[in-house]
Amino acid sequence: MIRLRRLRENEVLRNMVRETQISKSDLVYPVFIKEGTNEKNPVDSMPGIYQYTLDRFDEELERIQAAGIPAILIFGIPEHKDECGSGAYDENGITQRAVREIKKKAPELLIIADVCLCEYTSHGHCGLVQDGKILNDETLPLLAKMAVTLAKAGADMIAPSDMMDGHIAYLRKALDENGCVDTLLMGYSAKFASGYYSPFRDAAHSAPAFGDRRTYQMDPANGREALRECEADIEEGADIIMVKPDGGLIGFQQGFVQVGAPGIRPHSGDQVPARFSAQAQNKPRQLPLPGEGNSVNPAHISQAPANGAWAAVGVKFGCGSLLTPGQPQISADAAGG
């Protein structure tokens, strides 16, 4: 008889052989920074989540640091929107200012900057629009300008969530040509079209004004095509690849890991806002306190900082021992729409 239960005999053994573990070092905390002054606006669809003006963000920054969360994923909400999303690549735009200010106050905090036009366009789509069609190639230069301005503002990592073809190669080239050779790129490599993102779109004011995003975000039924997307991002120079949403696509994960590992790329999984919202409706927001240890129980992940919990359950870096020893980790991102 093969007695596999021996490894489950007690808590010490179970902890020792646990294949997948989540710690605070894996978490990324999504934050929403808006134009204006002295505002802290609740996001009704995600209880406990707020939009902050930059002058009010210190209180949340202190909570992030006290909780030991090592990184944030930043989304800006501009006051003005237009057809070409000009606020996205303005050197003095809200996101660029926020990156500079936060990096000055918390230099040790890893800042990941979302790159997409949806929060900045009047039509809410992730690229330029002509006659109802989302333009791919014409959008790339604007995304590149946004990436460069954010990197020069102090962002450590750029996370393009737009799902335009060829964007990783285009951004990598632009970053390198502008002296940002050490800036990391995390691709939303397999980003599936999903209604799960609705709470995020409330938080970021980024819902499309017409149609949907299925002409550029992926069909959730197409696992093989998603692996092609991951392979393309690796070939184009992504430092990290991501699948989103993560929780509803467990069957896709093994192929995702296999694609990421041979390419020597970390990979990430995104637990989406709808999941956080469902949890938050039934459980009060709690922050882990300093001294409570570095381990996070996946069954109680909503106890991590509000939108940070959503991020890995939002962005979780590393899929534990799904990777063989010596291989880089893979990350998961749950933020964005």
Answer whether 301's CB lies under 8 Å from 282's CB: no
Amino acid at 102: I
Using CA atoms, how far residue 99 sits from 33, 73, 280, in Å, is: 10, 10, 28
Rounded to 10°, the helix 140-153/167-177 angle is: 50
Answer whether 183's CB lies under 8 Å from 175's CB: yes
* 318 Cβ contact list (under 8 Å, min separation 6): 26, 266, 329, 330, 331
Instruction: Give yes or no: 244 in active site.
Output: yes
Rounded Cα distance, 189 and 233, in Å: 6
- Which is the catalytic residue, given 34, 145, 191, 316? 191
Exposed e or buried b for every residue in 284-303, given b needs 16+ CB within 10 A? Answer: ebebbeeeeeeebeeeebbb
- Which is the catalytic residue, given 34, 81, 244, 316? 244
Rounded to 10°, the helix 223-236/250-260 angle is: 30
Instruction: Give yes or no: 173 in active site.
Output: no
Q: Dihedral of CA 122/162/89/32: which sign?
A: positive
> Residue 111 is inside which H or E element, if any?
strand 110-115
Answer whether 235's CB lies under 8 Å from 229's CB: no
Amino acid at 104: K
Helices and strands in the chain: count of H runs, count of E runs = 10, 15
Rounded Cα distance, 190 and 239, in Å: 15
Rounded Cα distance, 18 and 8, in Å: 10
Q: Is 36 left (phi over 0), alpha (psi -120 to 50) or beta?
A: left
Catalytic residues: 191, 244
